[in-house]
Amino acid sequence: MNSPKVILTVFGTRPEAIKMFPVIHALEADPRFTSRVCVSGQHRAILDQVLEISSIKPDHDLAVMQPDQTLDALTANLLIGLGKVMDEEKPDWVLVQGDTATAMSGALAAYYRKIPVAHLEAGLRSGNIYHPWPEEVNRKMIGTITALHFAPTETSAEALRRENVDPATIHVTGNSVIDALHWITAKIEREPELASGLAQLEQRFAGKRIIGVTSHRRENFGGGLEAIADAVRRLAQRDDVAMIFPVHPNPNVRKVMDDALGNLVNVALIEPLDYPHFARLLDISTLILTDSGGVQEEAPALGKPVLVMRETTERPEGVMAGTAKLVGTDADTIVAEATRLLDDKAAYAAMAKSHNPFGDGKTALRVADLLAENAGGAPA
């Protein structure tokens, strides 16, 4: 038998960790591979929560995050740090996920060493380089370097073909966010205490319909976040709803939300939830308001209507399936659309159908097979 291929997985934020852990589990269980893991620490506490629940022990931890760091400094530090790890590990493949600074720097550092790059969640495009910012460009830059593109859907594969990517390198694998959701749901069934921490809030809001809210997008900082806060405040005036809002640790988000929503009876502003508790929040929610990417994929899988508080989305599949609606960041529109879903049973029922445009939960196994079958490699 050939010696196992060394796969260096590089990631740094919570959403990357959630989408990477099923693949790392598959690589670890497969004798065709030696799995090596490098985390950048681009997020810290909320990344570590995912590593812990999924029992992943990084081989390298760069801890790159500095307070108020610019994107330039972050990217420069990532490039240097990740390059050193690659020089040490000499992997056969570098695997990156999504669209973060870590993923982009990991791909670039690998390219500088002519190490082939595989890209999980390839081909998402909003068509607007400032929405999401800077992620749209991060993802496109990774795409120009990548030797194996794991597109979650036919739509994302088509986006890559339109950019003249060699079709032989594009594979529709589904999105591993669904593998992760299946895994965590099964784990919570076996160990319900993992997600029992919302019980007090559930009691406090008994009889009310729960609206789960998240917001953290960089392009919404400033006016967008204030409008979102205003919409939440206005919706919370209804006494038949309660809002549960785990607030992203980014200080730009926290301050706006604390100032606008800190003392409202029907709003629980809480610390970021670990992944099992967030899955529980999705489960108990009637409706989701979010500007998150991953939540747009999870909510349709659970049949939860989701109002996407962004101007564009690089994940149109939920909108096409009818479980997601783009509502932008205008407070009046957000309030009107949420009110319609709360008051109009037919409108609610039309959106509350479970769809799985993002995958069947077998993405990780497909990715492992493709990594085993493909040599990658730079021209001599």
Contact set for ligand UDP, span 201-240 (CB under 6 A): 214, 216
**274 three-state secondary structure:** coil
171 in active site: no
216 in active site: yes
Other Cβ atoms closer than 10 A to 84: 13
Structure tokens at 96: 């990156």
183 binds ligand UDP (CB under 6 A): no
State in angstroms the smallest separation of the CB of 239 from ligand UDP: 25
Select the span of 202-210, 267-275, 305-313, 320-328 touching ligand UDP (CB under 6 A): 267-275
Structure tokens at 188: 């919570």
182 in active site: no
- CB nearer to ligand UDP: give 46 or 147: 46
278 binds ligand UDP (CB under 6 A): yes
188 binds ligand UDP (CB under 6 A): no
Alpha helix segments (H runs only) across the chain: 14-28, 45-53, 71-89, 101-112, 135-145, 154-162, 176-190, 199-204, 223-235, 251-261, 275-284, 293-301, 316-321, 331-343, 345-351, 363-373
Place of tokens 């065709």: 32
State how far the Cα of 308 lies from the Cα of 329, in Å rounded to an integer.
Answer: 9
299 binds ligand UDP (CB under 6 A): no
Phi, psi (deg, nearest 5) at residue 351: -95, -25
98 residue type, one letter? G
Other Cβ atoms closer than 10 A to 142: 26
User: Which of residues 101, 275, 287, 327 is near ligand UDP by CB under 6 A?
Assistant: 275
**310 three-state secondary structure:** coil
User: Which of residues 219, 298, 311, 337 is near ligand UDP by CB under 6 A?
Assistant: 298
Residue nearest to ligand UDP (CB): 292
245 binds ligand UDP (CB under 6 A): no
User: Which of residues 41, 294, 361, 376 is near ligand UDP by CB under 6 A?
Assistant: 294
- CB nearer to ligand UDP: give 4 or 272: 272
Select the span of 72-80, 198-206, 291-299, 340-348 touching ligand UDP (CB under 6 A): 291-299
State how far the Cα of 240 lies from the Cα of 345, in Å rounded to an integer.
Answer: 15
The residues of the shown chain that bind ligand UDP, judged by CB under 6 A, are 14-15, 18, 214, 216, 246, 272-273, 275, 278, 292-295, 298
Which residues form the catalytic set?
99, 121, 135, 216, 218, 248
